[in-house]
């Protein structure tokens, strides 16, 4: 990491009622860096992304984007800030009242004021990049398979070529070949566009391919963060258990104790 971080999170906390999901997250993401966040199901990975985006209001802590605080921005400032972001939601979250290409072009038309025809061209290019042809473009999201929806959502997230892109489980539900194509696409976004990316994944093959750095979240905190090359000798039993997918280990114990 060189220079000031693109995203700097300090002491981020978020609870839902008595459920303390994030309990003091500290995390830096450098400019043009691809960070992969790993961690067990329900540990708050998606919640963390939503806090950074301002979709959830953090209970405490600071989030700085390009050095300026974004917690507690006004709605207008937030709307302007959103132009920097692209987000692939875990459940795709496609607009089911719009055609596939309109979904992909949405941020271009609404957010950047492009003409529909021009936006459509870009949308078709982005769809092609995720392996979807022009015949799919006119369909409704409900007419697509889950994996196809995910790819449309990915095309939508990158369509406006944002500075910061969040991928919440980009390869879940895809076949291994398509997953690898998506991995390449994510790498391309980061390398070619110089975007900063945070990806959440349970897929270790994908992690090893797309990550510059890896951070592991557990019990509401980042318990380990390091370069991808260090992940196999982290010396952290939680990380070891997670990357090898072992049922036995410190994480299982806590699940059992519930």
Partner 1 sequence: MTERNFLASVGRTFLDFLAVTGRIVVFALAAIFYALRPPYYPRLILRQMVDVGYYSLPVVGLTAVFTGMVLALQTYTGFSRFAAENAIANVVVLSVTRELGPVIAGLMVAGRIGAAIAAEIGTMRVTDQIDALTTLSTNPYRYLVAPRLIAGFTMVPLLVLVADIIGVFGGFLVSTYKLQFNAASYIQRTVDFLQTQDVAAGLAKAAVFGFIVALMGCYNGYHSRGGAQGVGAATTYAVVSSSILILVFDYVLTEAFFAR
Q: Torsion-angle region of residue 169: left (phi > 0), alpha (psi -120 to 50) or beta? A: left
Q: Is 118 in the site for partner 1 (CB under 8 A)?
A: no
Q: Which of 5, 35, 36, 43 binds ligand ATP (CB under 6 A)?
A: 43
Compare residues 62 and 90 and give the one whose CB is closer to ligand ATP: 90
Tell me if 186 sits within 8 A of 63, measured CB to CB: no
Size, binding site for ligand ATP by CB under 6 A: 11
For partner 1, the closer CB: 169 or 212: 169
Token output for 191: 């390398």
Contact present, 149 and 130 (Cβ < 8 Å): no
In the block, tokens 């936006």 appear at 119
- 170 near ligand ATP (CB under 6 A): no
Shortest reach from residue 78's CB to partner 1, in Å: 8
155-174 binders of partner 1 (CB under 8 A): 156
Minimum distance of partner 1 from residue 191's CB (angstroms): 23
Tell me if 46 contacts Mg ion by CB under 5 A.
Answer: yes
Q: Which stretch binds ligand ATP (CB under 6 A): 44-52, 129-137, 156-164, 225-233?
A: 44-52
Nearer to partner 1, 94 or 211 (CB): 94
106 touches which of partner 1, Mg ion, ligand ATP, none (CB within 5 to 8 A by kind)? partner 1
Q: Does the footprint of partner 1 cover residue 107 (CB under 8 A)?
A: yes
Contacts of 58 (CB under 8 A, 6+ apart): 12, 13, 14, 22, 51, 71
- 14 sits near partner 1 (criterion: CB under 8 A): no
**What phi and psi values does residue 49 have, to the nearest 5 degrees?**
-60, -40
User: Is 182 buried (19+), middle (13-18) or exposed (0-12) by CB count in 10 A?
Assistant: buried
**Phi/psi at 166 (5° precision):** -110, 130
| Of 52-60, 87-95, 111-119, 250-258: span binding Mg ion (CB under 5 A) | 87-95
Yes or no: say if 147 and 131 are a contact pair by the CB < 8 Å rule. no
Contacts with ligand ATP by CB under 6 A lie at 16, 21, 39, 41-47, 90
């Amino acid at each position: 990491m060189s220079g000031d971080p693109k995203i700097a999170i300090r002491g981020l906390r978020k609870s839902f009622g008595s459920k303390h999901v994030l309990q003091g997250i500290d995390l830096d993401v450098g400019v043009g860096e691809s960070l992969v966040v790993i961690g067990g199901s329900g540990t708050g990975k998606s919640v963390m992304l939503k806090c950074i985006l301002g979709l959830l209001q953090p209970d405490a802590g600071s989030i700085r984007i390009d050095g300026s605080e974004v917690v507690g921005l006004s709605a207008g400032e937030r709307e302007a800030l959103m132009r920097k972001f692209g987000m692939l939601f875990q459940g795709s979250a496609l607009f089911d009242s719009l055609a596939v290409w309109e979904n992909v072009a949405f941020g271009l038309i609404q957010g950047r004021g492009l003409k529909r025809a021009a936006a459509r061209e870009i949308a078709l290019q982005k769809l092609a990049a995720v392996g979807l042809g022009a015949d799919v473009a006119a369909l409704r999201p409900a007419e697509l398979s889950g994996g196809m929806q995910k790819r449309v959502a990915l095309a939508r997230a990158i369509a406006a070529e944002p500075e910061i892109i969040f991928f919440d489980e980009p390869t879940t539900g895809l076949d291994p070949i398509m997953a690898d194509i998506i991995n390449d696409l994510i790498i391309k976004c980061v390398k070619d566009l110089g975007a900063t990316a945070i990806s959440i994944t349970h897929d270790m093959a994908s992690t090893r391919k797309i990550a510059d750095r890896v951070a592991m979240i557990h019990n509401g905190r980042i318990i380990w963060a390091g370069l991808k090359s260090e992940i196999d000798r982290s010396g952290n039993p939680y990380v070891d258990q997670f990357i090898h997918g072992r049922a036995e280990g410190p994480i299982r114990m806590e699940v059992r104790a519930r």
